[in-house]
């Protein structure tokens, strides 16, 4: 039995928006459960679209044994043909049914290719269905658009630091440890170029002194201004001062981790962090949310100075998804990993 696993396999939803693997009556789950119970069925997970085996905790109890089966990879070109041949070679010894052997007009290779093409076609149809992005995915898009790096989640209130290693789960970096603390890998830390990030979602207006404006500017703070968010799940992000710190000797660090016993090339290592100074990060949950921003008395600046307050007072007519202000912290990350084939550094 080939269990074809794509990147969104674990979280694939039915027409009602429920996770299919959580449904005990889902036919895919039932088929895999039956195969796991049958002693005479060979199970081979096939990882496509550069997917990884799902973590045990993301699977129903009845499917947890699946992670212990040796998986095969079928990656896009230039690796497709080579990976496919490896899969065929692995399957071939188990095919003892004479009716398959007698199909001289259709080789085993094309049977597998046909199955994968059908699966790819189904995946492409699924991808055409518009998906509502989560709060995390929206923030990742904003950081990618503004800084071309990965978002640090949760922004500001996290404990990330240089040398952290881990994996990406659903687009979010999950820390497993630190190469210096866990393995004694040494590196030099240097300050990098500064950066800034400013973003406002569509259909946001600002009301100040009774006047409404569609052009929302965040570079000049307006005390007691009210921002009206027409759409749900909208964002306002303003981080005019971002300091960056990086690992200087990245190639030497990569060489050291490559020698570590038990190190996996799929591990990502944080080599640059983006620390925002007193940013403002707000996200809404419902449409029609109104947020009024004012500045604490102790941080008021002289008039006509274009700067950002160090502390906001945030008032909202509806619950907010994020309301981060006044604290400094990491909002974005850059990571590297070792190429599985060449073991050279790849910037992610």
pLDDT tens per residue across all 348 residues of the chain: 888 888 888 888 887 778 888 888 888 888 889 988 887 788 888 888 888 888 888 899 999 888 888 888 888 777 777 888 888 877 776 665 544 555 544 556 666 667 777 776 666 665 555 567 788 889 999 999 999 999 999 899 899 999 999 998 878 899 999 999 999 999 999 999 999 999 999 899 888 877 777 777 666 667 788 999 999 999 999 999 999 999 988 888 988 988 888 888 889 999 999 999 988 899 999 999 999 988 766 554 444 334 444 677 889 999 999 998 878 899 999 999 887 666 677 776
Dihedral, 248, 252, 255, 260 alpha carbons, nearest 10: -80
Pick the last residue of a domain from 75, 93, 128.
128
What pLDDT shows up at residue 303? 42
Query: Within this chain, do residues 105 and 156 fall inside the same structural domain, yes or no?
Result: no
What pLDDT shows up at residue 220? 62
Query: Within this chain, do residues 97 and 176 fall inside the same structural domain, yes or no?
Result: no
Tell me the HSE value of 195 on the side-chain side, using a 13 A CA sphere.
21
Query: Within this chain, do residues 81 and 217 fall inside the same structural domain, yes or no?
Result: no
Query: Within this chain, do residues 159 and 296 fall inside the same structural domain, yes or no?
Result: yes
Pick the last residue of a domain from 96, 128, 160.
128
Instruction: For residue range 16-28, list pLDDT tens digits in order.
Output: 778 888 888 888 8
Query: Within this chain, do residues 182 and 76 fall inside the same structural domain, yes or no?
Result: no
Q: Which of 106, 124, 112, 108 is nearest to 80 (CA)?
A: 112
Residue 81 belongs to domain spanning? 2-128
Distances (CA, A) of 160 to 156, 177, 178, 266: 10, 10, 9, 19
Instruction: For residue range 213-262, list pLDDT tens digits in order.
Output: 777 766 666 778 899 999 999 999 999 999 999 998 888 898 898 888 88
What pLDDT shows up at residue 189? 93
Query: Within this chain, do residues 158 and 294 fall inside the same structural domain, yes or no?
Result: yes
Pick the last residue of a domain from 84, 110, 128.
128
Query: Within this chain, do residues 177 and 296 fall inside the same structural domain, yes or no?
Result: yes
Query: How many domains is the chain built from?
Result: 2
What pLDDT shows up at residue 304? 39
What pLDDT shows up at residue 112? 67
| CA–CA dist 181, 208 (Å, integer) | 50
What pLDDT shows up at residue 98? 44
Neighbours of 139 (CB within 10 A): 27
3-state secondary structure of 296: coil
Report the mean per-residue pLDDT for the chain.
82
Query: Within this chain, do residues 123 and 144 fall inside the same structural domain, yes or no?
Result: no
Instruction: For residue range 283-306, list pLDDT tens digits in order.
Output: 999 999 999 988 766 554 444 334
3-state secondary structure of 237: strand
Query: Within this chain, do residues 53 and 167 fall inside the same structural domain, yes or no?
Result: no
Query: Within this chain, do residues 82 and 162 fall inside the same structural domain, yes or no?
Result: no
Kindly tell me the burial class for residue 329, based on how many C-beta atoms sit within 10 Å of its own C-beta (0-12, 13-18, 19 or more).
Answer: buried
């Amino acid at each position: 039995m080939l269990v074809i696993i794509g990147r969104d396999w674990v979280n694939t939803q039915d027409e009602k928006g429920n996770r299919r693997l959580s449904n005990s009556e889902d036919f895919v789950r039932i088929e895999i459960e039956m195969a796991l119970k049958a002693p005479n069925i060979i199970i081979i997970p096939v990882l496509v679209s550069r997917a990884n085996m799902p973590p045990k905790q993301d699977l129903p109890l009845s499917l947890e044994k699946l992670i212990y089966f040796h998986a095969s990879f079928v990656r896009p070109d230039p690796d497709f043909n080579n990976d496919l041949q490896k899969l065929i070679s692995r399957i071939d010894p188990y095919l003892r049914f004479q009716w398959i052997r007698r199909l001289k007009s259709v080789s085993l290779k094309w049977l597998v290719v046909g199955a994968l093409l059908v699966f790819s076609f189904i995946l492409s149809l699924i991808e055409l269905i518009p998906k509502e992005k989560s709060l995390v995915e929206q923030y990742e898009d904003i950081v990618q658009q503004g800084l071309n790096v990965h978002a640090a989640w949760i922004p500001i209130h996290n404990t990330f630091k240089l040398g952290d290693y881990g994996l990406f789960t659903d687009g979010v970096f999950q820390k497993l440890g630190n190469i210096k603390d866990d393995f004694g890998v040494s590196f030099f830390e240097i300050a990098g170029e500064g950066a800034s990030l400013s973003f406002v979602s569509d259909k946001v207006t600002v009301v100040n002194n009774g006047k409404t404006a569609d052009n929302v500017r965040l570079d000049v703070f307006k005390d007691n201004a009210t921002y009206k968010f027409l759409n749900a799940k909208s964002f306002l992000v303003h981080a005019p001062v971002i300091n960056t710190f990086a690992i200087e000797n990245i190639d030497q660090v990569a060489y050291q981790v490559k020698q570590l016993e038990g190190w996996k090339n799929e591990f990502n290592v944080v080599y640059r962090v983006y620390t925002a100074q007193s940013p403002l990060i707000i996200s809404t949950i419902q449409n029609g949310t109104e947020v009024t921003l004012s500045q604490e008395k102790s941080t008021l600046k002289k008039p006509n100075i274009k700067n950002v307050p160090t502390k906001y007072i945030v008032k909202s007519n509806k619950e907010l998804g994020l309301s981060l202000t006044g604290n400094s912290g990491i909002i974005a990350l850059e990571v590297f990993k070792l190429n599985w084939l060449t073991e050279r550094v790849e910037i992610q």
